[in-house]
Amino acid sequence: MTVDLSQIVKAYDVRGVVPDQWDESLAELFGAAFAQVTDARAIVIGHDMRPSSPGLSRAFARGAAARGVDVTEIGLCSTDQLYYASGALDLPGAMFTASHNPAQYNGIKMCRAGAAPVGQDTGLAEIRALVEGWAAGDGAPALAAGPGTVDQRDTLDDYAAHLRSLVDLRTIRPLKVVVDAGNGMGGHTVPTVFAGLPLDLVPMYFALDGTFPNHEANPLDPKNIVDLQARVRAEGADLGIAFDGDADRCFVVDENGDPVSPSAITALVAARELAKHGGSGTVIHNLITSWSVPEVVREHGGTPVRTRVGHSFIKQEMANTGAIFGGEHSAHYYFRDFWNADTGMLAALHVLAALGEQDGPLSGLVGQYDRYVGSGEINSTVDDQAARLAAVKDAYRERQDVTLDELDGLTVTAADWWFNVRPSNTEPLLRLNAEGRDEATMAKVRDEVLALIRD
């Protein structure tokens, strides 16, 4: 029997529909393969609130323990809480979550000791090959002479204490903050992290429910923050924060309910991290964050470094350069003080501290970091990604007023605008991001490129 995991083993994680695409029997094989590839003596495992998560997590633990690996289960947790445990305990880790995907999905985010990422080039391809072979009857995972132990440990308080040690909010002015957890893991972590701080917390959808009865736990989609925006206005709150399903990303709206771009949050946090580290250091940003980000980094004494889109590239570049911080347009924020891992909660604490340390509203504070007009990511379904991308390149390659680079897809840059077109790795899509010095400039280049893509 041939087992094809190509539909569920992605570039950075495992993700698919349960039980149609994967189940507990495969999870057990993934646990055995993870133990073999990491050559670990002990690992840590956590899971989110999806109905299938506890069973999949236990199966993974069985697979690893049968190979003699000691397993520490931390139970319900956010993804960045699992990264904390991996870093603090110096153990490889596995998090069972499908992040913002619908309820029928589940997945595994894996890391080596110290929260170092496991992706296609850093172990995931080997894990997939082992699981496919074993599932097809090509041998079986070798059993250890004695099984490993499986025990439980609660890391929530330690995780919260570590985050609060990195950003001091004890002396900020009182703030009223609405938090939409989307029935995801933010409902588990926020009460403990925010406890004792000068924050008037207005919780929304904190009940853990992996069926997501109120809205999808994907704040990147504007329809999923409508409730948060309305509640911020109704409460007269200082700001609103939304977390995705596994609470590793945070999205912010200001006192008017208007969304704050992740690029502006990246620039704000970069300025604070640079000040914390003596006014110097490297900051990583992907190539579709706003021009504002490298500008602010330079203005505060730092060195911006541009990377491809994707957390494995960000984390690798952070490790290579010793960067103090990294940010992506998708609201993933990475910190050297958090084992180079991404944590939306730490970014949220920075925003709260920055707002609470001054008297003005959030809209005024972030205005200095939001200097350009962006299109957001626009997806177009195409029959031939390469051909359409080539057509865009042909249209701009002879122009004297632009520069082209192909670090990730195609980026074309002029004096007053830029755009990037990237192919999706998993769907027949081209993704366009454009930015200009004003709305008219952005709209003109956006529409020109869309016409070429959709011709």
Catalytic center residues: 99
Q: 255 and 241 in contact (C-beta within 8 Å)?
A: no
Tokens at 88, concatenated = 């603090």
Quote the radius of gyration of the chain (alpha carbons, Å). 22
